[in-house]
């Protein structure tokens, strides 16, 4: 497979950074199927990151991260999805299954259930409730209209009609592979974890990472310990600021536009000051800023260590979906993604 330096289009709405971080050895030798099996497959999905953005801001990238993947990995110069709807659940499930929405069933974040005669939130499932009380969507402060439309707090992958990569990995290893999905968004985690994996997502209602009893009867101890640290509270009274002088940004002179939204006093221009931790919009502000991705990464790293992923002979799988880029794009516009840096002063 030829590696292409210049990329015209990777995909619309979602950019798969690394399906298989350990690229070498992912495809086993035909004569020795156990040879060079990776210890851990890490899939990173960045919600609403357009395919042209990495090259547009390439001169601003530091060592590691995007630059490492770009220079050491495989870059596809002509990758497309055949479906038109690029909503979160549609793209994530397509990445997770390799199937089109007409096959995997997740045709939108919200759809009309003809049998029930009512709208349905994609991963909503009243049969499986959240393990945390008070972690359900707060309709009064929720800015995501599709989540607000959910009629119950329950969540599961039951509506996904086909198997995911994680499901197949589980089956191929007789259930021994550890499969996890993590995201700020419930649908970003559930879709990638599949039917056989475990999913965790951020609750704006209580500022913790939660799950439903589809996955666990009770939280693993390490999750309870992580939540008890109240990591999401550390941003209170601080701000999301620019890393460089505003004039040095490609869209530095367009910081304030009439279509941008001020959520709970977060403002439309830099710096964006986080509210007090008891403010009703505080956790929402975290999700529509780099803080949401930082919190997600912190939880994912803790999961990797505590669940001992990649430490035995069986290949494990971890999906991390960074979704704050999507909220930033919806609230402020795609030009702000170039300024998506954080300063905790």
Nearest to 125 by CA among 213, 24, 2: 213
What whole-number distance in Å separates Cα of residue 163 and Cα of residue 246?
46
Instruction: Look at residue 43 and tell me if it is in a domain.
Output: yes
CA distances from 244 to 3, 56, 250 (A): 32, 17, 12
202 pairs with which residues across the strands? 209
As a whole number of angstroms, the distance between CA 245 and CA 252 comes to 9
Residue 8 resides in a domain: no
Other CB atoms closer than 10 Å to residue 80's CB: what's the count?
Answer: 11
Secondary structure (DSSP) of 37-92: --SEEEEEEEET--TTHHHHTGGG--SSHHHHHHHHS---SB---S-S---HHHHH
In a domain, residue 1? The reply is no
Is 92 a member of any domain? yes
In a domain, 7, yes or no: no
Whole-angstrom Cα Rg for the chain? 20
**Per-residue confidence in pLDDT tens, the chain, 345 aa:** 333 332 222 332 333 333 333 333 343 444 555 567 899 999 999 999 888 888 888 888 888 888 898 899 888 888 888 888 889 999 999 999 999 999 999 999 999 989 889 999 999 999 999 999 999 999 899 999 999 999 999 999 999 999 999 999 999 999 999 999 999 999 999 999 999 999 999 999 999 999 999 999 999 999 999 999 999 999 999 999 988 888 888 888 888 888 899 999 999 999 999 999 999 999 999 999 999 999 999 999 999 999 999 999 999 999 999 999 999 999 998 776 555 544 443
Q: How many domains does the chain contain in total?
A: 1
The sign of the CA dihedral 15, 107, 110, 296 is negative
Show the CA angle centred on residue 317, arms to residues 134 and 110, nearest 5°: 45
∠ CA(319), CA(45), CA(126), 5° rounding?
A: 60
313 vs 273: CA distance, rounded Å? 47
Task: Note whether residue 344 is domain-resident.
Answer: no
Q: How many CB atoms lie within 10 A of CB 177?
A: 21
Report the Cα–Cα distance between both ends of the chain, in Å, rounded.
46
Instruction: Give residue 6's region: left, alpha or beta (phi > 0; psi -120 to 50).
Output: beta
DSSP-H helix ranges across the chain: 53-56, 65-72, 88-97, 101-104, 145-148, 165-172, 186-193, 221-228, 282-287, 290-306, 324-332
Domain that holds residue 331: 14-339
240 contact partners, CB below 8 Å, separation of at least 6: 270, 271, 272, 274, 289, 290, 291, 342, 343
Whether residue 223 lies inside any domain: the answer is yes
Give the separation between CA 184 and CA 160, rounded to whole angstroms: 20
Angle 92-96-100 (CA atoms, 0-180°, nearest 5)? 75
User: Strand 198-203 to strand 239-240: parallel, antiparallel, or no bridges (unpaired)?
Assistant: unpaired
CATH number of the domain to which 241 belongs = 3.40.720.10
Separation CA 288–CA 24 (nearest Å): 35
Neighbours of 308 (CB within 10 A): 10
Domain assignment present for residue 128? The answer is yes
Residues in CB range of 17: below 8 A, 6 or more apart: 44, 45, 46, 66, 69
What's the rounded Cα separation, in Å, for the pair 289 and 297? Answer: 14
């Amino acid at each position: 497979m030829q590696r292409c330096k210049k990329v015209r289009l990777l995909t619309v709405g979602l950019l798969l950074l690394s399906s298989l971080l350990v690229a070498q050895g992912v495809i086993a030798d035909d004569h020795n199927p156990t040879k060079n099996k990776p210890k851990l497959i890490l899939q990173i999905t960045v919600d609403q990151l357009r395919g042209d953005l990495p090259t547009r801001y390439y001169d601003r990238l530091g060592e590691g991260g995007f630059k490492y993947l770009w220079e050491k990995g495989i870059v596809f110069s002509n990758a497309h999805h055949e479906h038109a709807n690029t909503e979160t659940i549609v793209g994530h499930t397509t990445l997770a299954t390799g199937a089109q929405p007409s096959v995997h069933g997740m045709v939108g974040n919200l759809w009309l259930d003809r049998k029930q005669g009512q709208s349905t939130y994609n991963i909503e499932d009243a049969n499986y409730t959240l393990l945390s009380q008070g972690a359900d969507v707060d309709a009064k402060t929720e800015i995501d209209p599709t989540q607000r439309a959910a009629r119950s707090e329950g969540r599961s992958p039951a509506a996904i009609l086909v198997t995911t990569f994680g499901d197949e990995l589980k089956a191929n290893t007789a259930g021994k592979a550890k499969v996890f999905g993590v995201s700020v968004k419930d649908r970003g985690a559930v879709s990638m974890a599949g039917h056989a994996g475990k999913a965790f997502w951020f609750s704006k209602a209580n500022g913790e990472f939660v799950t439903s009893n589809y996955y666990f009867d009770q939280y693993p101890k390490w999750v309870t310990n992580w939540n008890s640290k109240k990591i999401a509270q550390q941003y209170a009274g601080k701000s999301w600021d620019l890393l460089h002088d505003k004039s040095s940004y490609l869209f530095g002179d367009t910081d304030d536009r009439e279509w941008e939204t001020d959520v709970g006093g977060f403002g439309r221009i830099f710096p964006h000051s986080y509210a007090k931790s008891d403010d009703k919009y505080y956790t929402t502000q975290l999700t529509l800023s780099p803080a949401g991705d930082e919190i997600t990464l912190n939880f994912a790293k803790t999961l990797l260590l505590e669940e001992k992923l990649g430490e035995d002979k069986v290949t494990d799988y971890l999906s991390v979906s960074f979704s704050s880029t999507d909220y930033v794009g919806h609230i402020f516009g795609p030009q702000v993604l170039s300024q998506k840096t954080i300063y905790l002063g």
